Amino acid sequence: MNVEINWLAVALATASSMVVGMVWYAKSVFGKQWAKLVNLDEKKMNEGATKAIIVTIVVSFLTAFVLAHVSALSHAYFNNPYLQDVLTTAFWLWLGLTAARIITHDIFEGRPLQLTAMNVAHEFVTLMVMGLIIGLIP
């Protein structure tokens, strides 16, 4: 089976991840609270910003690509409306892989529940927006 990927949708989904992250972790939204919970000050954040942004772009692209790929397979199997299959796939990937892994690591690392909830919710919004973009540009 040949899985066709819409590269424009993957690129836009990648960019959406950056936009969601910039809004989510803005100081006026969750940024101050997040920085306090992870014990980062402005100086530490600025020192690693370039590397963090580059890594985020790469892994966001990988996430968007995998979501598009698995969604195409899901759609071929379920044959619901494409947007429905993509959003359903995004939800299950978020729940079974992203949320489950973040929660597991955070429990073992003793991270605050508030931080875990903030990060898991961010990933949910990110994957749903990616799914919306991929689903609307089949």
Residue-wise pLDDT tens digits, 44-95? 888 889 999 999 999 999 999 999 999 999 999 999 999 999 999 999 999 9
CA distance 50 to 46: 8
pLDDT-based confidence at 119, cuts 50/70/90?
very high
Q: Quick one: pLDDT at residue 81?
A: 97
pLDDT-based confidence at 19, cuts 50/70/90?
very high
Closest CA to 86 of 60, 56, 66, 59: 66
pTM above 0.75, yes or no: yes
14 in Cβ contact with 135 (< 8 Å): no
Closest CA to 21 of 54, 62, 65, 53: 53
Cβ-proximal residues to 12 (8 Å cutoff; 6+ apart), any chain:
133, 137
Q: Quick one: pLDDT at residue 44?
A: 86
The chain-wide mean pLDDT, for the chain, equals 96
Q: Quick one: pLDDT at residue 134?
A: 98
CA distance 68 to 74: 10
Cβ-proximal residues to 63 (8 Å cutoff; 6+ apart), any chain:
17, 126, 127, 130
Per-residue tokens: 44: 């530490």
CA distance 23 to 47: 20
Q: Quick one: pLDDT at residue 33?
A: 97
Average pLDDT over residues 29-58: 93
User: How many residues are listed for the chain in this entry?
Assistant: 138
HSE-CB for 47 with a 13 A CA cutoff: 5
Q: Quick one: pLDDT at residue 74?
A: 97
